[in-house]
Amino acid sequence: MKQRQWDALRLPLIAVALGLLVGCILIVLAGNNPATAYWALVKGSLSGVTELGRTLDKATPLVMGGLAVAVAFKAGLFNIGGQGQLLLGAAVAAYFGFRFSMPTVIHLPLAMAMGGLAAGLLGWLVGVLKATRGTHEVITTIMLNFVAANLTDWLTSRDGPWKDPESGAIARTPLVNESAEIPRLGGLPTGFLVAVLAAGICWWVFEKTNFGFEVRTTGLNPKAARYAGIKTQRIIVTTMVMSAFLAGVGGAIETQGVAGRFQPGFNTGLGFDGITIALLARTNPLAVVPAALLIGAMDAGSTLMQAEADVAPEIISVIQASILFFIAAPSVVRFIVRMRSDAATDDDMRLSSGWGA
Amino acid sequence: MTTSVLRARGLTKRFPGVLANDSVDLDLNRGEIVGLLGENGAGKSTLVKMLFGVYEPDEGTMEIGGEPADISGPADAIAKGMGMVHQHFQLVGPLTVADNVVLGAEPRSGLFIDEKAAVESVRELSEKFGLDVDPGAVVEDLPVGVQQRVEILKALYRGADILILDEPSAVLTPQETDELLEVMRGLAATGVGIIFITHKLREILAVTDRVVVMRGGAVVGAADTAGSTQEGLAELMVGRPVIFRVEKDQAVPGPTVLYVQGLVARDDRDQRALDNISLQVRSGEIVGVAGVEGNGQRELVETLTGLRRITSGTITIDGEDVTRASPRDIHRLGVGHVPEDREKDGLVSSYSVADNLVLNRYFKKPFSKSGLRDFAAIARNAEKLVADYGVATPAITTGVGTLSGGNKQKVIVARELSETTSLVVASQPTRGVDVGSIEFIHEQLVSARDQGAGVLLVSAELDEIFSLADRIVVLYRGRVVGDMPAADATVEQVGLLMAGAVDA
Ligand SMILES: Nc1ncnc2c1ncn2[C@@H]1O[C@H](COP(=O)(O)OP(=O)(O)OP(=O)(O)O)[C@@H](O)[C@H]1O
Ligand SMILES: [Mg+2]
C-alpha cells in the first residue's frame, strides 16, 4: 500500500521538480539569481496573512477549474471549456449579485448556484452533442469558449444590458450587493473553503457512490460499462454538466469573493490552468487542492519575485507549462529519470490517450 | 547436430504478491518447436515476456546463439533476431499487408518508401515460408487468421530466427489453426526456432518436438513430444488426472426460456448479420450454437443481451418480451452473459478483482445501500467467488488486468454463473482456459442446466459443442441451417452444415 501511494506521488513530484529546474535554468540564462527569485516566490506567497490570502484567492478558482477537468476525465472526457464555463459562471453570478437584494443566506448561495447552472448549461450542450451525435467534446468545448467569451464581453460592453452605468468606458458589471459577497475571515477568503468542500464531495462521489462507479467504469471501458447495464450516454451528459457546473462555481467565487464584480479580462487563463492542475493531481479530486495551491502560490508570489529578483513573471508561466509537459508525457519523465515500469497503469494510458480518443 | 539459438538460465520474476517465475531454465534449438504448457497463471506469458524484453528479469541470464545477451527491450529483442506475436495484434488496420510488414524498416528509394520493393519482398517471404497472403490487401479487411500471418511475416521480415507465439490459436477457427500449425512446421523446417504456448494438448502433440510444463512459476517437467499423451501431459500440468469427457445426465427440458422469432439485425458495418433467425432454448437444456466464426454468432449474442439493436423480429425471455429491452432489464430477468471478448467487454482491467466481480450487480443489495457502495459486502462476494471458482489471484484488491488470461475468464464466469437463474448466454467460455479449468467451467454450465437454467453455448470448438450440448443449432451466413438433438448429430454432418455445403 505504501509503495502504491509513493508510486502515485512520484511522477507529479518529479514533474514539479523538473519544471522548477527549467525555470532555474532560464533565470540563470537571463542573468539573475534563481535562489533569490525562488525565495521571493515563497515569501510573496506564504510569508504573511496578506500573502497567504492572495495565494488562497488565486488557488480558489484553480481548485474549481482543476476539479472540472478531473471530473470530466473520470468519464473519459476532456473538458477544455473550463475557461468559457468559468467566464459565464462569473458573469451570471455577478448579475444575480448586483441585480437583486435579499438576505445573505439566500442571496450568496443563490448567485453562486446560478453561476454554476449557467455554466452547467454549456456542459449539458457539450454532453448531449457527444452522447447523441458523437461530436468530440474537445471541439465543442473550445468553440463554446469563444461563445462564452464573446457573450460575456457583450453583456458588459457599452450597450450591454449588464454594464455598470458608472464605469464610463470600462466594460464591467456593477459591484455585487453586500448580501451576495463571500466574506473573508481575518483576511483569508472563505471561498477557498467552499472549493475544498467541493473537492471533498467530488472525492466522495467517485469513491463511495454507485454513480461515481458508473462514471469511472464509463471512462475506463465504455464497452464494459454498457455490458454492465450502465447508460453511458446519460453518464456522459451528467458528468459534463457536473464538470461545467464546478468551473462555473469557480467563476462565481471569483466574482463574489475576490473581484466583487465581473470584468472581462480578470479571469483570463484561469480555466486553462485547470488542465495542468487536474493532470498534476492525476485526476484525484483531493489532490487537486494541493496542486491548485502550488500553482496559485506561484501566481501570487510572482509580483514579489519581479520586484526583488528582477525576474519577469512570465517565467512562472513557463514553469507551469513545463510541469504540464512533464506530467502529460510520463514517458519523457521516465526516460529522464530512468524509471522502468512493468505495467503502465490505466491512468497513464488514459491521460495520454484522452487527447486524441 | 543441434545448435542452441536461445538459452535461459534461472529466470526469476516477482510481482507484488506473486512469484511469477521461479528460476526457470529454457532451451531452444535451431528448427525446433518447443511447446510451453501450464495452468492459468503458471507463468508462461511472464516467461516469454522476459525473453522478449517486455519485462526485466529480477534474476537470471540469457544466451542468444551462444552469446550472452542482455535484452533491454522489445526493440533490442527484435534486433537480436526474436519475433513475438501477441494475442492483440499490433497492426495498422487501414494500411496494406506490405506496408504493415515493412513498417519501421521500410525499403527506401531516396526519400520515399519503395512500395514496389516492399510488395516484392513480402511476396518473396510469403512464398519462401508458405504463408499465403496478398501483399496488397488492406489489413482490416482480412480475417483474424490471415492478420496473424501478417504478424508472423513482420517478424520474419526483420530476420527473426526465434519466434514466440503466445496462445496464437485462441483467436483462430479450427480451420485457421490447422493452417497455422502447417505454417509453423514450414518455418521450423527452414531453421526458425519456435516457442509455442497453447492450452490445447492436441496442438502440442501435433506440432511440437519438445514440451516444457510449468506450474506455479516453475518448470515441473519436460518431455519429448513423441511418446507423450494428452492424459499424461494434462496430469503433469494440473497435478491430478483430468477427465476429458463431460459427466452429465440426460437433460430434462422444461418450459421454453428463450424464444427467438424471425430475428434480423445488422452488424457494425451495417450489413445484414442475422437473417430471420428463429430458435428456442428450454430450461434444463444446453443448446450449442455451432458455426464458423463470423457467421452471426456475435450479433446473435449481442441482440439477446440487449447490446445490439434489432431490425425486426421478437425475443422473449421467460415469457417477457425483451425485443427492445436494455442490458440491465435483461440482467434483471436472471440472464448471465459470458462475452466473447473478455478484455474489451467483460472486465475493467484497472479495477480490482472485487469490483469486477460486482460489475453486473453493483447497484443491487447488498452491494449498494441507497446509492452508496457497501465495500464490506463487495469484499465478501469477492472472497466467496474467488474461493468457489478457484480464481488464482494474490488478493481480491489486485487489479484484474494483472491476472493471467485464464484467470480473467474465471472472474467473468464466476460473476455470470453465480447468480443466474433463467438463462446463460456463454460465448467461447473456455477460450484461453487451461484443461483443468475447462473441466470446471463445463461442470458449472452443466450444473446451471441441472438447476433449471437454459444455456445457450456459442463455441467455435466442435468438441466443446458435442461434449456439452443437448441440442445443436448451426449458423451459416446469419441463418439457422441446422437444428437437431445432439444425440442425432454427427461431427461430419455439422461440419458440412457449418461450411454451407448442404441445406438442412
Ligand atoms: N504485470 C503484472 N503485474 C502483476 N502480476 C502479474 C503481472 N503479469 C502477470 N502477473 C501474475 O503472474 C502470474 C503469472 O501470470 P502469467 O500471465 O505469466 O500466466 P500464464 O501462464 O500466461 O497464464 P494463462 O494461461 O492464463 O495466460 C499470475 O499470478 C499473474 O497474476
Ligand atoms: Mg498467458
CA–CA distance, B372 with B394 (Å, rounded to integer): 27
Length of chain B: 504
pLDDT at A336: 59
Residue B81 CB less than 6 A away from ligand 1 = no
Domain parsing of chain A, residue ranges: 3-355
CB atoms near residue B127 (< 10 Å):
10
Residues B348-360: tens digit of each pLDDT? 999 999 999 999 9
- Residue B495 counted as domain residue: yes
The last residue of a domain, from among B220, B238, B256? B238
* pLDDT, chain A, mean: 85
CB contacts, 8 Å: A226 with chain B:
307, 327
The nearest CA of chain B is from the CA of A275 a distance in Å of 23
pLDDT at A354: 35
Instruction: Specify the residue with its C-alpha closest to ligand 1, atom 27.
Output: B405
* pLDDT, chain B, mean: 89
Strand order across the B67-69 sheet: B18-29, B4-15, B59-64, B67-69
Same domain, B57 and B186: yes
Residues A182-205: tens digit of each pLDDT? 888 877 888 899 999 999 999 999
Q: Which parts of B235-311 are beta strand (E)?
A: 256-266, 272-282, 286-290
A345: contact with B, CB 8 A cutoff: yes
Same domain, B67 and B170: yes
- pLDDT of residue A114 exceeding 70: yes
Residues A269-305: tens digit of each pLDDT? 777 788 889 988 888 999 999 999 988 888 888 888 8
CB contacts, 8 Å: B362 with chain A:
210, 213, 228
**pLDDT mean over B152-168:** 90
For strands B162-166 and B108-109, give the pairing.
unpaired
| Percentage of chain B exceeding pLDDT 90 | 55
pLDDT at A347: 40
Same domain, B109 and B255: no
Q: How confident is residue B2, by pLDDT bands cut at 50, 70 and 90? A: confident
Q: Please judge whether A217 and B402 are an interchain contact, meaning their C-beta atoms are less than 8 angstroms apart.
A: no
CA–CA distance, B491 with B488 (Å, rounded to integer): 10
The last residue of a domain, from among B209, B238, B267? B238
Residue A188 and residue A56 in contact, taking contact as beta carbons nearer than 8 Å: yes
**A11: three-class secondary structure by DSSP:** helix
pLDDT at B34: 96
Residues B435-448: tens digit of each pLDDT? 888 888 999 999 99
Tell me the CA distances in angstroms from B25 to A131, A213, B85, B122, one per residue in order.
53, 44, 22, 35
- Residue B314 counted as domain residue: yes
The nearest CA of chain B is from the CA of A120 a distance in Å of 23
Residue B18 CB less than 6 A away from ligand 1 = yes
For strands B218-224 and B210-215, give the pairing.
antiparallel
**A10: three-class secondary structure by DSSP:** helix
Q: Please judge whether A211 and B371 are an interchain contact, meaning their C-beta atoms are less than 8 angstroms apart.
A: yes
Which residues are CB-contacts of B390 (< 8 A; sequence separation ≥ 6)?
B410, B437, B440
Q: Please judge whether A220 and B337 are an interchain contact, meaning their C-beta atoms are less than 8 angstroms apart.
A: no
| Percentage of chain A exceeding pLDDT 70 | 90
Q: How confident is residue A335, by pLDDT bands cut at 50, 70 and 90? A: low
**pLDDT mean over B460-474:** 91
Same domain, B144 and B202: yes
**pLDDT mean over A324-346:** 58
**pLDDT mean over B454-464:** 91
Pick the residue from chain A with its C-alpha nearest to B328. Answer: A229
Ligand with the closest atom to the CA of B409: 1
Tell me the CA distances in angstroms from B88 to A199, B18, B52, B343, one per residue in order.
39, 24, 16, 10
- pLDDT of residue A89 exceeding 90: yes
Return residues 188-227 of A near B (CB < 8 Å).
208-211, 213, 217, 220-221, 223-224, 226-227
In the beta sheet, which residues pair with residue B59?
A: B12
**B115: three-class secondary structure by DSSP:** helix
CA–CA distance, B382 with B379 (Å, rounded to integer): 5
A3: contact with B, CB 8 A cutoff: yes
Partner residue facing A229 (CB), from B328, B339, B372: B328
CB-facing half-sphere around the CA of A194: CA atoms within 13 A: 26
Q: Which CATH number goes with the domain that contains B174?
A: 3.40.50.300
Q: Which domain holds residue B492?
A: 244-334+423-429+454-504
How many Å separate Cα A324 from the centre of its chain? 13
- pLDDT of residue A233 exceeding 80: yes
- pLDDT of residue B15 exceeding 50: yes
Residues B390-431: tens digit of each pLDDT? 898 999 999 999 998 889 999 999 999 998 779 999 999 988
Same domain, B55 and B126: yes
Same domain, B325 and B254: yes
pTM above 0.90, yes or no: no
- pLDDT of residue B136 exceeding 90: no
**pLDDT mean over B126-144:** 83
Long-range contacts of B479-483 (CB under 8 A, 24+ apart): B479/B275, B479/B276, B479/B277, B479/B296, B480/B277, B480/B278, B480/B279, B482/B290, B483/B279
Q: Is B241 exposed, middle or buried (0-12, 13-18, 19+ CB in 10 A)?
A: exposed
Q: Which parts of B16-103 are beta strand (E)?
A: 18-29, 33-38, 59-64, 67-69, 82-85
Same domain, B69 and B203: yes
In the beta sheet, which residues pair with residue B84?
A: B164
- pLDDT of residue B214 exceeding 80: yes
Q: Please judge whether A224 and B359 are an interchain contact, meaning their C-beta atoms are less than 8 angstroms apart.
A: yes
CA–CA distance, A312 with A307 (Å, rounded to integer): 9
- Compute, in angstroms, the gap from residue B9 CA to the centroid of ligand 2: 20
- pLDDT of residue A239 exceeding 90: yes
Same domain, B162 and B203: yes
- For B396-465, give the DSSP string: TTSBGGGS-HHHHHHHHHHHHHSS-SSEEEEESTTTT--HHHHHHHHHHHHHHHHTT-EEEEE-S-HHHH
Q: Is A303 exposed, middle or buried (0-12, 13-18, 19+ CB in 10 A)?
A: middle
- Residue B348 counted as domain residue: no
Same domain, B21 and B159: yes
Instruction: Tally C-beta pairs within 8 A across A and B.
Output: 68
The last residue of a domain, from among B189, B223, B238? B238
Ligand with the closest atom to the CA of B214: 1
Q: How confident is residue B125, by pLDDT bands cut at 50, 70 and 90? A: confident
Q: How confident is residue A333, by pLDDT bands cut at 50, 70 and 90? A: low
The total number of structural domains in chain B stands at: 2
Residue B291 CB less than 6 A away from ligand 1 = no
Structure-model confidence comparison of residues B118 and A339, the more confident one:
B118
Lowest mean pLDDT segment, chosen from B25-29, B70-74, B323-327: B70-74
CB contacts, 8 Å: A340 with chain B:
56
Hey, what's the cell of A215? 462514471
- Residue whose C-alpha cell reads 439493436 in the numeric block: B309
Residue type, A206: F
Q: How confident is residue A341, by pLDDT bands cut at 50, 70 and 90? A: very low
Return residues 54-113 of A near B (CB < 8 Å).
none
- Residue B390 counted as domain residue: no
- Residue B364 counted as domain residue: no
In the beta sheet, which residues pair with residue B315?
A: B260
Same domain, B110 and B28: yes
- Compute, in angstroms, the gap from residue B318 CA to the centroid of ligand 2: 39
Residue B34 and residue B77 in contact, taking contact as beta carbons nearer than 8 Å: no
Which of A207, A209, A210 to probe by mutation at the B interface, max B CB count within 10 Å?
A210
CA–CA distance, A157 with A173 (Å, rounded to integer): 9
Give the residue, out of B397, B403, B437, with the most ligand 1 atoms within 8 A of its beta carbon, to mutate for a pocket test. B403
CATH number of A3-355: 1.10.3470
- Compute, in angstroms, the gap from residue B45 CA to the centroid of ligand 2: 4
pLDDT at B98: 87
The nearest CA of chain A is from the CA of B103 a distance in Å of 22
Pick the residue from chain A with its C-alpha nearest to B15. Answer: A342
CA-wise closest residue to B78 among B23, B8, B155, B13: B155
pLDDT at A244: 96
Residue B471 and residue B440 in contact, taking contact as beta carbons nearer than 8 Å: no
Residues A135-191: tens digit of each pLDDT? 898 889 999 999 998 998 888 888 888 888 787 778 888 888 888 888 888 778 888
Pick the residue from chain B with its C-alpha nearest to A230. Answer: B328
CB atoms near residue B347 (< 10 Å):
26
Q: DSSP character for B346? A: I
pLDDT at B284: 93
CA-wise closest residue to A83 among A130, A157, A148: A148
Residue B46 CB less than 6 A away from ligand 1 = yes
Hey, what's the cell of A76? 473519459
Same domain, B133 and B270: no
- pLDDT of residue B500 exceeding 50: yes
pLDDT at A2: 56
CA-wise closest residue to B503 among B479, B471, B486, B472: B479
B355: contact with A, CB 8 A cutoff: yes
pLDDT at A355: 34
Q: How confident is residue B1, by pLDDT bands cut at 50, 70 and 90? A: low
Same domain, B109 and B222: yes
